[in-house]
Chain A
Amino acid sequence: MRSRMLPRYYLDADIFEREQRKIFHRLWLFAGLKTLLTQHNTFITRKIAGIPIVIQNFHGKLRAFENTCLHRSALIQSEPVGRRPLVCAYHAWRYGENGQVDSIPDCEKNYRFGEKEKCGLKLREFPLEIIGNILFINLDPHPLPLIEQFSIDFLESLKDSSSAYDTEVMVTTWRGNYNWKLAYENLRDANHPRFVHPKSLARIVDFRPNVDEAQLQESLRELQDMTQEGLRQEMRAFSYGGRDTAIENMQQFGWHELVERWGNEDVYYNWLAYPNLHIASANGGHSFTIEHHIPISSGVTDMEVYRFTSRKKRSFAFSNAVLLAEMHGSKLVTGEDVEVMEMVQKGLHHGAPISTQGAYESMNRIIERWYSTVMETEYGV
């Protein structure tokens, strides 16, 4: 079977621009963790689809704004995570919970804004949805309802599992020279771990590809319903997760007894949220990793990696050492993936052969069918 993905989908700047416009500026995207925003004036800052964003806690209410001061365009919050009022450090313009300018030092004397002009000064606000401890943001002024992007079951699974997240979070970013879609095609490919991770992940979990007959038959057909509603319905199947594969003889560590494990099965948990969020627990719910792939250009992707345990029963001095050991584990496994993806990206050119896919790759084929429709037509979500 020939893939529907053309080399230019991974190479061309105009495709990248179209993706940004038709996918990343339309869909709900991972925005951060609520566990970092538990107190008044705590904030996180991000750049999402090129826009600097601040998400701030105002007396318990979380709000997302463009993180750019309306005076001289300075970043209002400059640290990735912190706790301070929403005040620009440049000329001390202060913003309130609705994004309005609350105060400007010496406003009358120096600026001479009329009342109407001053009242109109308001930061651009973005819709925010909170699912358990996971924040989703949408950059569209008229966003699609969250339940049209993700199924109820998927949202319930995310809500339940993320409620177990601990508040101590380790974060870093790895830049890679590959297209963001390669990461998700790879994550949906259960046939790669035994070849790419023989000495790391595959020693812990025995992933096996399987063929879903109904999905396979569906993947061979052309997309029938290209209406907005049809494309949304199709897209809901791209996000799924929960229990993945059983782990035989799961390794136990002393710290496992210090956290409230999510679930009680020795399994690998895996969640994929379209377009660019992956969550996993490789130790049966004792700890979690979040990988958020941020497209920088057609050939460059930043992967933000979050590491945290499930909620601690009590704090313990070496918790950070646990997270660092887990982070190094992620680095090893994901580093092996990145090496392969960068190799694939290097091999791509406009005349490169179209991929030949197997029956087990039907979910990738179904997503490719939707993606190529969105890229090649005026239809969209």
Chain B
Amino acid sequence: MVCKWIIGAGEFLDIAFEAWQRAFPEITVKKIIVPQNSKYEFDLSTLQTLSPSDGSAFVAFDERFGNFKRMELMSAVIQLGFKLDSFISPRAIIASNVKIGPNTLISDGTIIGYGSSIEYNSVLMPGVQIGSGTQVRPSCWIEAGVLIGNNVKIGAHCTFRTGVSIRHGLDIGRYCELGWPQCYEKNIAPKTIFDSRYDAPIYTYQN
């Protein structure tokens, strides 16, 4: 029997598991929970019983710690010999030449325009719209309904919250979090955080 293991923890594991089950009822989908200890280190012992040759995996962990925990778990799963797939909803509308990397989740109602690319380990929640010629670098997290224009460059490990829209042609640096529900109209420097709990952006400077 060929299995699809959905590996991770938390609510996003449930979301991804349900999406796989609903979209592909013909395959055997199993949920594998990976707990964390008090130092937030993953306990991979639940993976020891699986044989990588019996199926393939999808790593489902949310955006916490700048999407690095999902990245960390994904790397660990690859090191154990598992092959990673992407989830592309049959209810997404994706232009024919869009490039999509492994361990990416493209949810229902997502629209991705001509010539865009979504690199590995990125998550696009339902209803995300991405224009043409836009690049989404690895390990991004884009929440439901986010609108991204044409020819936008989005650096690795970015997080965009619901309510965000991004104008055509912008350059969003790596590790940014856009959490203020608004239209962003200027380029944004790497490591800039717009968190709704704060009334000013958080900047990171480094010489």
Contacts and interface: CB of A to CB of B under 8 A. Distances in A.
Interface of A: 35-39, 42, 80-81, 167-175, 251-254, 317-318, 320-321, 323-325, 327-328, 331
Nearest to A39: B207
B15 interface: no
Interface stretch (B83-91, B116-124, B161-169, B198-206): B198-206
B204 A37 contact: no
Nearest to A253: B39
B204 A323 contact: yes
Contacts of B206: 167-169
Interface string B118-143: 00000000000000000000000000
A174 B200 contact: yes
Contacts of B39: 251-254
B22 interface: no
A144 B203 CA distance: 34
B204 A170 contact: yes
Nearest to B67: A321
A172 B66 contact: no
Interface in B5-50: 38-41
The 5 closest A-B pairs by CB, nearest first: A321-B66, A172-B202, A38-B207, A318-B68, A168-B206
Contact of B199 (A38, A170, A175, A251): A175
Interface in B162-207: 175, 177, 191, 193, 197-207
Contacts of B201: 172
A119 B201 CA distance: 41
Contacts of A321: 65-66, 68, 175
Contacts of B200: 172-175
Contacts of A254: 39-41
Given A254-B39, A318-B65, A318-B66, A169 B199 contact: no
B197 A36 contact: no
Contact of A169 (B38, B66, B205): B205
Interface of B: 38-41, 65-66, 68, 175, 177, 191, 193, 197-207
- In this complex, the member of A37, A167, A171, A321 whose beta carbon has the largest number of chain B beta carbons within 10 angstroms is A321
A325 B198 contact: no
A320 B197 contact: no
Contacts of B202: 170-172, 324, 327
Contact of A80 (B65, B68, B203): B203
B168 to A, nearest CB: 25
A323 B193 CA distance: 11
Contacts of A320: 66, 175, 191, 204
A324 B175 CA distance: 11
B207 A37 contact: yes
Nearest to A316: B68
12 contacts: A38-B207, A168-B206, A169-B204, A169-B206, A171-B205, A174-B200, A175-B199, A318-B68, A324-B66, A324-B177, A328-B197, A331-B197
Given A174-B198, A317-B68, A324 B193 contact: yes
Contacts of A39: 207
A254 B41 CA distance: 8
Contacts of A328: 197
B134 to A, nearest CB: 23
A321 B41 CA distance: 15
A42 B160 CA distance: 31
Nearest to B204: A170
Given A170-B202, A331-B197, A331-B198, A42 B68 contact: no
Contacts of B205: 36, 81, 168-169, 171
A251 B198 contact: no
Contacts of B197: 328, 331
A328 B64 CA distance: 12
Contacts of B65: 318, 321, 325
Nearest to A304: B200
Contacts of B68: 317-318, 321
Nearest to B193: A324
A316 to B, nearest CB: 10
Contact of A36 (B40, B175, B198, B207): B207
A293 B134 CA distance: 42
A243 to B, nearest CB: 25
Given A81-B203, A171-B202, 5 more contacts: A36-B205, A167-B206, A174-B199, A325-B65, A331-B197
Nearest to A168: B206
Contacts of A169: 204-206
Interface centre among B38, B198, B202 (most CB of A within 10 A): B202
Contacts of A172: 193, 198, 200-203
A177 B175 CA distance: 31
B46 to A, nearest CB: 21
B207 A170 contact: no
Nearest to A315: B206
Among the interface residues B65, B193, B199, B205, which one has the most CB atoms of the partner chain A within 10 A? B205
A184 B205 CA distance: 27
Nearest to B203: A171
A251 B41 CA distance: 13
B207 A251 contact: no
B76 to A, nearest CB: 14
